[in-house]
Amino acid sequence: MITSDRNSADVVVRQSPNSAKIDFHTHTDSSDGALSAKDLIEKAAQAGITTLGICDHDTVSSLAEAEIISGEKGIKIVPGIEITSRYKRFQLHFLGYYFDYTDKKFLSRLDELRDARIHRAKRIIAKLNRIKIPLTFESVIEKVGEHDSVGRPHIANTMVEEGYAQTYDEVFHKYIGIGRPAYEANYPFPPEEAIGMVAAAGGLSFLAHPSHYVSEDLLHYLLKTGLDGIEVIHPSHSDEEIAFYTKFADENSLLKSGGSDFHGGLKNDDRNLGSYVISPEWVDKILSKLNN
């Protein structure tokens, strides 16, 4: 079912043999993507995608518009979100799908998470000010898109731009990394809560791109948190990893998903869109769990 040709210069293709192209993981400019929902849908249609998951980081603000536009383009939108969670020293991403994105409780939880990130950024900046680095919150927030959530990368980039450090890494090593003078702990948002808020709004949760950070021990722990599935197909996954996560999902009754993680503007984005797709049978299984 999955074909790949990693050793040639050709595009790596992971797709089902039939013509329906299903990509469950893309971003718009509501988070850190480059394209509006409208432009993303247009581009996806050109790439032959028929079902498109939009999963912006910690926001659902593109979904209503996307669903309206998609009808005209003959594309089915899968409402999604990519939620950042913490487990011990790991930052994990969970993909939520098919939840009610107008659910009031869900939306107010997202607001709380955004506020927590703003407060953390302000605490980091206050600590920097105390060690005589006159960074301002305003200069950092300028780097953050309208709906994007502020984090340490924005602080690091601003510090480099304003000449307080030579490199992004230097900012973490000297100032804002763990144990450094301007370090502030993350807002604790454990996997159970991320998964729980999606479930409470009627949706299913998948662990995103597990090869980025996840040991087998952590996978086994996550099985106990109510996780519904794993993102098996992702541009960062090797053939061996795809085989491993497929087997792990099948053995542990987890659903499987996948997609291009298209942001627009990133290296290989255009090549990946339409190339990292999942089989319609995987979607059928997702929908049947959803309806049970």
Contacts with Zn ion by CB under 5 A lie at 82, 93, 208, 261
List, in sequence order, every residue forming a beta bridge with 80; answer none if it has no partner. Answer: 97
8 CA to centre of own chain: 29
C-beta closer to Zn ion: residue 91 or 252: 91
Shortest Å, Cβ 79 to Zn ion = 15
Residue 82 Cβ vs Zn ion, minimum distance, rounded to whole Å: 5
Q: How far is the CB of 94 from Zn ion (least distance, A)?
A: 9
Pick the closer one to Zn ion by CB: 94 or 106. 94
Least Cβ distance, residue 64 to Zn ion (angstroms): 20
Q: Is residue 120 within 8 Å of 152, Cβ to Cβ?
A: no
What's the residue count for the chain?
Answer: 292
| Pick 24 or 106: Cβ nearer Zn ion | 24
Among all residues, whose Cβ is closest to Zn ion?
A: 93
Please, are residues 257 and 284 in contact by the beta-carbon 8 Å criterion? no
Q: End-to-end CA distance of the chain: give it in Å, rounded.
A: 27
> Least CB distance from residue 56 to Zn ion, whole Å?
8
Paired tokens of 280: 């319609």
**CA distance linking residue 95 with residue 230, whole number of Å:** 9
Is 40 in contact with 54 (CB distance < 8 Å)? yes
Q: Which is nearer to Zn ion, 91 or 102 (CB)?
A: 91
Distance in Å, CB of 205 to Zn ion, minimum: 13
Nearest CB to Zn ion, comparing residues 261 and 269: 261
Helix (H, G, I), strand (E, B) or coil at 58: coil
Largest Cα–Cα distance in the chain?
Answer: 61
Indicate the residue among 77 and 159 with the shorter CB distance to Zn ion. 77
CA distances (Å), origin 124, targets 86, 115, 134, 141, 181? 18, 14, 12, 13, 9
Eight-state DSSP code of residue 11: P
Cβ closest to Zn ion, residue 208 vs residue 242:
208
- Dihedrals phi, psi of 78, to nearest 5 degrees: -100, 115
Phi, psi (5° rounding) for residue 58? Answer: 55, 25
Alpha carbon distance 56, 48 (integer Å): 21
For the bound state, the minimum distance from the C-beta of residue 26 to Zn ion, rounded and expressed in Å, comes to 8
Q: Which two tokens stand for residue 99?
A: 């939840």
